[in-house]
Structure 1
Amino acid sequence: MRSTATPTSPTSPTDNSDRTGHATLPPFLPAFQRLHQTMAPWVASDPDRVAVMDAHRALRYGELDAAVRKTAQTLTTLGVRGGDRVVLLTENSVGCAIILLALSAIDAWSVPVNARLSAREIANIVEHAGARVTLYLDNDFPEAREHGLARGAQWAEWPHVGRLLVSPVDDNAVAEPVEADAHDQVAALIYTTGTTGASKAVMLTHANLMFIGHSNRMQSRVQPGDRVYGVLPISHVYGLSVLLVGPLSNGATVYYEPRFRPDKLARTLIEEQLTVLHGVPAMYAKVIEWSRAQGQSLRTPSLRIAQSGGAPLTASLKAAFEDAFGILLNNGYGMTETSPTVCQTRVESPRSDCSVGPAVPHVEIQLGPLLPDGSGELLVRGPNVMKGYYRRPDLTAQAIDSDGWLHTGDLARIDPDGAVSIVGRSKEIIIHSGFNVYPEEVEQSLNAFPAVLQSAVVGRAVEGNEEVIAFVEVRGGMTLDEAALRTFLRDRLSAYKMPAEIRIVTQLPAAPSGKILKAKLREQLATGKA
C-alpha cells in the first residue's frame, strides 16, 4: 500500500480544512440513505414539475415517483435481488433514468454501459460484474438492440420504461451483502475507459453520489426549476452525477439527449429555455465551430450557468465559448474514482484563467512530493472518494493509502489562494532529452492556432530518448499550414517541447464522454498504424 509519506505541499486552503490538512467540518451526512429517495421533497412539494424528459416524452416528479415504484416491482418479479449487479446498455433517455432509480429502490447495483462499446467490451463487463441480468434499452439508435439480440435477450414491454430486451437471469450470480448505511452500500459500478491501462470497475456508493448533488446545491449550480441539458452519457460518472443525481435531488428538470449534435444543442437552448449546460471541451469546440459556419448565434437569455469538465480546458476555447454564449464558462476537475467532483471554480468568484478552482467543501486535497517545477501528484480525501475497485482489492490498496488519501495519478499545482491547475498525468509525462514535457501544455499551444480544432500529444520512444508526437484535428473548411503552425509554436514553446512530428487526423479517437483516448494513439504509434 502506498503512503503519503509526509507530502511536501500542505493541503490547499479549502472551505473545510485548516493549514495542517485536518478537516474542521463534520463529515458529509446525506439526508437520505438511497439515491431514489433524494427526489422525495420535490415529489411532495412540486409533483407537477417536469423532472425528466427526452424527445419522446416527459414525466413530472409525481409521475416519475410512480414509474420508479412500478419498475422496482417489475425488476423484483424478474428475479433481481438486493446486491445483484444489473448491466444496463443504453443511451440517455427517460427510460434509462427510471431504471437507474428503480435499481436504487431495491438495493441492486446499477452498471450503466454505453451501447456504443464493442461486443467484446460488453461481454467482459457482464462477466466481470457477475451480472444477474442485462437490460438493453431500445431507443432511436440500433446499438443496444443489436447487442441484445446477438446475446439472446428477449423483447419485453415495461410500463413507463417502454420497449427493451432482457437477458436470461443468471441463477449463478451471487448477490453482494446489502448495507444499511449509504456510505457502505454500492449504488453503481462505473467501468473506466482504460485510457491509462486495463478497465476497472469503480464502486460508487449512494453517499458518494448524493454528495455531488449536495455540492451542486451548496454552490447554487443547480436550483429548483433549472432546466439542464443532458447529453453527457449517463454511463460515464460525469453524466450520472450531473444529469441524474444532481438535478433530481435539487428539483430541476433534465432534457435527455442520446447523442451530441451541434444543431440540436443550439435549437434546444432556445426551445427548452435551458438554464444549465454541462459539456466537455471537445463538445464546446464543435458547437462553436458549427455556429460560426452557420452564422447562428448561441446566445440565449435563459442560460445562466455553463460548466466544462472531463478534459483540460484551454484559454482559447474558454474565450471563444464566452464570446459565443455570452456567459462565463466555469471549469472543474474530477475523476470516476471521486464521483467525480474534486475541484470547481466558483460562480461567485469568476476566473479568467483555466484553473479548475479550489477543492469543493468537505473535500481535502494535497500534493505528494514535489517535482522541480513545483508540481506534485494530487491526493484527494473526502466523501466523494470511491469505496474501491470491484473484485480488485490489490488495485484499491494501490490507489487509496492507509490514511484514506486517493492517489489520482494527476500532476497539479496549488496557488496560494487554493486554486488548482492540473498539469497532466504523471504517467503521460514525456521525457525529452532529460526535460519533462507535459502534453497538456503543448496541446494548449496547438489548440490556440486558428486552424486547429483539437489536439492530442503523446510520447514515442526512440533509442535513448522520447519524442513529442502531436495528433491534430483540423477545423472544418480550413487547411493546416504546418510551417505556419510550427512558427506559431516556436513563439510559445521551448525547443525541447516542440513536436517532432505533427500528424493530421480526420477525427481523434474519443470515449462516449468526449474524452480523447490517448492510449489508442500510443497503440497506433507502437504498431505503426498511425
Structure 2
Amino acid sequence: MDHHPVGLHCRRIHEVIAPWVGSIPNALALSDRDRALTYAQLDMATRAAAVQLRQLGVEPGDRVLLVAENCAALAVLVLAASQCDAWAVVVNARLSAREIDTFIEHSGARRVLYTARVSQEAKAHAARAGATMSAWSGIGDLAVGPLNPRARAEAVSDDPTDQVAAMIYTSGTSGQPKGVMLTHAGLLHIASLSSQLRRLSPKDTVYGVLPMAHVVGLSSQLIGSLACGCCLQLEERFSPEALCAMLRERKISVLIGVPAMYARLLDWCARTGTAFADHGLRILGTAGSPLTPELKQAVEAAFGMTLHNGYGLTEMSPTVAQTHLESPREDCSVGTPVPGVEIRIVDLASRSDVVPGEVGELWVRGPNLMKGYYRADDLTRAAINAEGWFNTGDLARQAEDGALYIVGRTKELIIRSGFNVYPVEVEQVLNSHPAIVQSAVVGRPVSGNEEVVAFVEVAAGMTLAREPLMAYLRARLSPYKVPSEIRAMTQLPAAATGKLLKHEIRQLALRQADARQGVL
C-alpha cells in the first residue's frame, strides 16, 4: 500500500498514522540520534503519552507547552496532545529565558514539558523551572514542569475546522508575542498536499532538520510525512557533516531546507572538498526565506537536480504556493497557489486588485488559514477581513502562467536563516541597556540570507564596548535575533517629530563599503 487519502477521514492530526499502523506496522516512522519507532511503536508510545498527560492533569482544551528540539519524543507529544484534545505549543529550546517565560505566561499552559535528554538548552530551562524528570513509555525521560492551577481550558469542538491542534508563536510587530492558532483541518489540508504535490509514500525517508517549533517543521515535515507513511529522520539542529553523511549513505529521499542551510552546506563542502553527486534524493526543496538565483544555481549544480521553491506563512499552516515536480522552474518563482488556496494581489492605495503582472500586496485565504491569534481578537480582525482574506504584508506579482513572485515586504520583518526577526523586539532589548538612548534595527541582504544590523544612539558620557553588549543581548535574545553588526551613532537619523527614518537607516546598513564608522 503506497497511498491513502490523507485527511479525508481524519478529524484530528494524530489519526493520520492509523492506516499505516494497520498496513505497515513494522515500517520505521520516526528516527532520531538514539531511538527509532515503527508505526506500531509510534502508536503505542502516543497512546501511553496521552494517558500520562491526562494523569498530569491535562484536560481537553488545555495548552501543553513543549520546550524542545527535534526528536522522536517531541513528535510523540504533539500526537498525544491531539489525542487529549489539548493544544500542542512547541517552542524552541534555544530561545532565551525571557522569551520562554513570556510564552508560558501568554499561553496559560497547564503543563510545560522539556526534552532535557536531547537538548542542553531544554535541560537548563527545566532546571530553572523546577521541572522533575520522569520516564515515558517508548520515548525515554522527559522533564515535567509543575502543574499550573490557574490554567483554564478552552472550549472544545468536534469540528476539525474549529478545534485548535497546535499553537505557534511569532513575535508581533508590537514586540508582544502572537500565538497563531492552527486547526486540525488546516494542518490536515497541508498534509494532504504532501501526498498530492510531492507524491510522498512509504518508500520515502524525509530529512527532518527544520525545527518543529516552526510551522514548516511541525506541519509539512512531521504531519505531512506521517500522513504519507514515510520515515522521518529527525535532527535536533542542522550540521553539514551530518547531512553529508546521510547523503553519502543514500539514507534520505526528501530534503527540504531554508536557503541559509544550503548556503552553509555549500560553504562547508567547498572548504572540505566534499561532493555528493550520488545522493539518492528524489525531492530537493526550499522555503522559509527568499531564494536568490545565484544560490539556486549553485545548489542545483552541486546536487545535479532541481531545487524546488515554495512560499507560506505561519498563519496559513503554512503553504500558499509551491513549484511542481513535473514542471521545474529555472527562475526563483515560488510556484502556483496550492489546491484550495486563493490569492489576490491588491493595490496598496486603492485596495482593488492590480492588473495581472503588476506588483501589489498579497492577500490569501483557504482551508488552512489559522483560526486566529490567541487572546488577540483585535489583531485577528486587523489581519483577516470579513470575507476571510488574510493580508500577508508581502509584496508579490503573478505572471500569466500563474507563477507567483514575492518581491518584497510591506512589513519590516527580517528573515534570518528561515526564522522571523521583528526589529521592534530587538530594539526593545537594546533600548533596555543603560548606555543606549534609542536604537533602530534593519535587515541587510547577504548571500542566500538576511542579517540583522543595529544602529544605537549612545547616552552622553557613556561608553559602549562590543563584547559586554553582545553578552547582554545573548542573555535576552535567541541567537538568530542577535545583530551581526552594531553601529554606534551620536544621533540616529530622525524627522522633526523625532520619528526615526528607517529608510535612511536601511541605506546606511547597505553602505558597507564606507569606513564602517562606529562599528562596535
TM-score normalised according to structure 1 size: 0.78
Deviation at 1:502, TM superposition (A): 5.2
Counterparts of residues 210-229 of structure 1 (less than 5 Å): 210-229=188-207
**SS state at 1:260 partner:** coil
Deviation at 1:193, TM superposition (A): 4.1
Deviation at 1:221, TM superposition (A): 4.2
Residue identity opposite 1:202 in structure 2: V
Deviation at 1:407, TM superposition (A): 0.5
Question: What CA distance in whole angstroms lies between the structure 2 residues aligned with 1:301 and 1:284?
Answer: 15
- 8 Å contact 1:455–1:470 — kept in the other structure? no
- Whether 2:364 is the aligned partner of 1:374: answer no
Deviation at 1:82, TM superposition (A): 0.6
Deviation at 1:78, TM superposition (A): 1.2
- 8 Å contact 1:467–1:500 — kept in the other structure? no
The residue aligned with 1:396 is 380
Residue identity opposite 1:467 in structure 2: E
- Whether 2:339 is the aligned partner of 1:356: answer no
- Whether 2:134 is the aligned partner of 1:134: answer no
The residue aligned with 1:18 is none
Describe the shift of the 1:503–1:261 C-alpha distance in structure 2 as closer, same or farther (beyond 3 A): farther
- Whether 2:161 is the aligned partner of 1:183: answer yes
- 8 Å contact 1:356–1:420 — kept in the other structure? yes
2:407 corresponds, among 419, 423, 427, to 423
Counterparts of residues 447-526 of structure 1 (less than 5 Å): 447=447, 454-456=449-451, 462-463=493-494, 466-467=503-504, 469=506, 499-501=510-512
Deviation at 1:467, TM superposition (A): 2.6
C-alpha deviations, 1:228-281, integer Å up to 9, x for none? 001110010010012210000001000000011111110012335200001000
Question: What CA distance in whole angstroms lies between the structure 2 residues aligned with 1:225 and 1:29?
Answer: 19
**SS state at 1:200 partner:** strand
Describe the shift of the 1:197–1:300 C-alpha distance in structure 2 as closer, same or farther (beyond 3 A): farther
**SS state at 1:174 partner:** coil
- 8 Å contact 2:114–2:143 — kept in the other structure? yes
The residue aligned with 2:55 is 77
Question: What CA distance in whole angstroms lies between the structure 1 residues aligned with 2:74 and 2:298?
Answer: 34
Residue identity opposite 1:375 in structure 2: V
TM-score normalised according to structure 2 size: 0.80
The number of residues matched between the two structures is 440
Question: What CA distance in whole angstroms lies between the structure 1 residues aligned with 2:514 and 2:278?
Answer: 38
C-alpha deviations, 1:65-92, integer Å up to 9, x for none? 1111111111111111110001001110
- 8 Å contact 1:459–1:468 — kept in the other structure? no
Deviation at 1:323, TM superposition (A): 0.5
Higher mean displacement: 121-130 or 463-472:
463-472
Question: What CA distance in whole angstroms lies between the structure 2 residues aligned with 1:127 and 1:196?
Answer: 17
| Aligned residues with identical type, % of pairs | 47
1:261 corresponds, among 232, 239, 244, to 239
The residue aligned with 1:294 is 272
- 8 Å contact 1:133–1:169 — kept in the other structure? yes
Describe the shift of the 1:172–1:457 C-alpha distance in structure 2 as closer, same or farther (beyond 3 A): closer
Higher mean displacement: 83-92 or 453-462:
453-462
Question: What CA distance in whole angstroms lies between the structure 2 residues aligned with 1:52 and 1:195?
Answer: 36
**SS state at 2:124 partner:** helix
- Whether 2:40 is the aligned partner of 1:62: answer yes
Residue identity opposite 2:365 in structure 1: R
Question: What CA distance in whole angstroms lies between the structure 2 residues aligned with 1:145 and 1:206?
Answer: 30
Residue identity opposite 2:398 in structure 1: I
- 8 Å contact 1:54–1:94 — kept in the other structure? yes
Question: What CA distance in whole angstroms lies between the structure 2 residues aligned with 1:470 and 1:211?
Answer: 42
The residue aligned with 1:16 is none
- 8 Å contact 1:456–1:471 — kept in the other structure? no
Describe the shift of the 1:414–1:164 C-alpha distance in structure 2 as closer, same or farther (beyond 3 A): same
Structure 1 residue runs of 5 or longer lacking an equivalent are 1-27, 431-438, 448-452, 473-498, 506-524
The residue aligned with 1:435 is none
Higher mean displacement: 212-221 or 108-117:
212-221
The residue aligned with 2:389 is 405
**SS state at 2:41 partner:** helix
Counterparts of residues 51-130 of structure 1 (less than 5 Å): 51-130=29-108
Question: What CA distance in whole angstroms lies between the structure 2 residues aligned with 1:529 and 1:399?
Answer: 38
Structure 2 residue runs of 5 or longer lacking an equivalent are 1-5, 415-441, 456-491, 496-500
- Whether 2:203 is the aligned partner of 1:192: answer no
The residue aligned with 1:323 is 301
